[in-house]
Amino acid sequence: MEATDAQVRRARNCRLQIIRLQISVNGVLIIDKPQGMTSHDVVNCVRRILGERSVGHLGTLDPSATGVLPIVVGHFTRLAQFYTDSDKKYEGVIRFGFATDTYDADGEATSASQNVILNEEAVRRLAAEFRGVLRQIPPPFSAKKIAGVPAYKLARRHREVKLEPVQVKVKALEILGVSGDCAEFRAHVGSGTYMRSIAHDMGQRLGCGAHLGRLRRTAVAEFTIEEAHTLGELETKVRQGRAEDIFFHPRKLLPQMPSVTATDENVALIRTGRAVNLPEMSKAPLVKVFHGQRDLIAISTRIAGTLFHPSIVFPASEG
């Protein structure tokens, strides 16, 4: 959903007339990022809404894009290491007829505009060529670094940006329909894949230029748009003293890792960094250890048999 200018300014400045509850929460929020905000803007808003300094995100989303932005809060920021290679899912529109310097609708045109009437079957065949393992050149306006400097900073100074191709994986790219010069798509891609580059490269293949007209992220790893909340909804829950209602259930985090519930005796040992015997987990190398249903206390590594050592320990939340 596109935010108005007033909403964006309000969210960016976070001048929220709410009770600043100084709560300490370990958790994950799925924020539906509005158009016009950077991922860092969202992080800053969540910090101020919750009164919590330790906040981060699990994967940058371009300012012009909307959708799923997972936010880690408190000691759960330490979970970010497990999400560096997460798959993403998107829905959006590619507009054909001219390219832009940013490869999206926010940039300046870099080619003459052409009148294009798309053939849906031809666009579907073209999209099929972009599935699988590809060598992709990131957009010049991106966070990729050249000699330690983000490419977008060089591009803004009108400096030459020469990025090397990187290997990416496009697991699915489906054209949902075409209308005039626009093609609507759905995609499932591996980490590091730029949909902006796919749009740009498709335009080059057709010889008419193209850019990403609209993008909405619908999933990152196990986090989906159906479970996302707006910043306004978070603000309301904080006012009501019910912020934890919209935190992602910790049992659903990192589904590739089995969950075990520790005894009170083992919880005390784990919190002091001691190895303990846990229920047999079919040789799983890593497990999530809970105290009760919601209190994730550790990520533990198998030493041998049922003996696990806590590699990450999460102190208890206070509130």
Residue of 41, 62, 104, 181 marked active site: 62
Closest alpha carbon to 182 in 305, 95, 75, 258:
95
* Non-local CB neighbours of 68 within 8 Å, separated by 6+ positions: 30, 31, 32, 33, 61, 217, 218, 219, 220, 223, 224, 225, 228
Q: Which residues contact 177 (CB under 8 A, 6 or more apart)?
A: 120, 183, 184
The two structure tokens encoding residue 160: 């030459």
| Residue 198 structure tokens | 């796919």
Active site residue 181: no
For residue 312, the tally of other CB atoms under 10 A from its CB is 19
Q: The tokens 């919209």 sit on which residue?
A: 246
Amino acid at 212: L
Token pair in block for residue 74: 């408190």
Angle in degrees, CA 310, 83, 165, rounded to 5:
140
Q: Which residues pair with 212 in a beta bridge?
A: 94, 104
DSSP string spanning 86-120?
Answer: --EEEEEEEEES--BTTSBTTS-B-S--------H
- CB-based contact 58:80 (threshold 8 Å): yes
φ and ψ of 90, to 5 deg: -140, 155
Are 187 and 61 in contact by the 8 Å Cβ rule? The answer is no
AA identity, residue 256: Q
Residues marked active site are found at 62
